[in-house]
Chain A
Amino acid sequence: MSQPIIKIDNMNKWFGDFQVLKDINLEVEKNKKIVVCGPSGSGKSTLIRCINRLEEHQKGTIVVDGNELSENTKNIEAIRAEVGMVFQQFNLFPHLSILDNCTLAPIWVKKMPKKQAEELALDQLKKVQIDDQAHKFPGQLSGGQQQRCAIARALCMEPKIMLFDEPTSALDPEMIKEVLDAMVTLAKAGMTMIVVTHEMGFAKEVADEVIFMDEGMIVERAETKEFFANPKSDRTKLFLSQIL
């Protein structure tokens, strides 16, 4: 068994008095694809936002690629640069063109020469099939195109891990497929991925493991086939019966 790239130990998080995450233990190995599902308010998004420290946890440890995340972490930016993230609301930078959205971080964070960054960006945009939109602004693109651009933008940092926070939840049904296709391609290329989603078709197709969360706890974690065929807890069974 290889060394886990993400190791979460006994992690707890509170928003004020409200405990969102309770005793989370999670290990993710390199190149694994994990799908996290569960009802809304179960802490799925908070969990993956803790992995690149967009949220701070109060108890327990999170180790990402050998670096522990804590208040004393000096190089938090360096860790974030290795962990790509795609958001539900795309969060593209509306004042920059698609190409500039993709090259901004490589140029200023990774100190890549502009020309090289643009080549890389066009390459990534081509992979998600929006290289012909490179000089438009985010507001001129459809939701699906924007989300694919957001994936390309994250990939331009050449991350080791990709986090997806409900990437298709804000999209029209017909645009969901184009985004999922881009994610499947990425998964097949061997990226380590943690995906919060309600798209069970996607989970069945690419996930190695599925995690079911409820009320801030990991209720069940199983191999994909096992998860859908023989869910162990009643809560999982109920959830699956409603969603499938």
Chain B
Amino acid sequence: MTRAADPAISDEELMVRVREQNDQDAFAVLVSRHQQNLLNYFVRSGVQYDGEDLVQQTFLRIFRYRNRYVPSAKFTTFLLLVARQVWLDELRKRKRRERGEVPMPEEPVDAPVQQDVSDTQHVENRQDVLRLLETLPDGLRQVIVLGVFEERPYAEIGRILGIPEGTVKSRMFHALARMREFLQNDESGSPMKGKEK
């Protein structure tokens, strides 16, 4: 184990080493510590199959902008701030491509494997939750991703999204209320039923 891999060394200390000494061992530790969380962030944000590419882009940007890291800031805040930018760039790119685009079949998130009953339920549940998240526009969805999944304090979410803490709070309420409404409609039939009349 290299010195950088010592679990007692904090993310912030490692990032300072990256910033001051271009320490690639320290960066490797940061990558191994946070790549899974970052992939989770992108999947929950709505990435279907390019999650790992976005994880790579995020770490590359972190390294490129290492001099902008302020040691007093939490590393994970810095990481999510950059990840958010990467995700926004991806969304812009998609939006541009979606104008008049014919949808192509996409690669599945999970490799097709033989499933037993409990696996099937697991996948169904997963699809349900993803469908639930899809009901939210990105602004509300990000609050859920950071607040519910990542369990970040609202003040930190505000810093990452560039909005006041009060707005985080109201968005959280609206996101939860909207998902509840969707579930209520879903359980009583298609949520589109009312609109089809």
A, B assembled together? no
Q: Which residues of chain B have a CB within 8 Å of any CB of chain A?
A: none
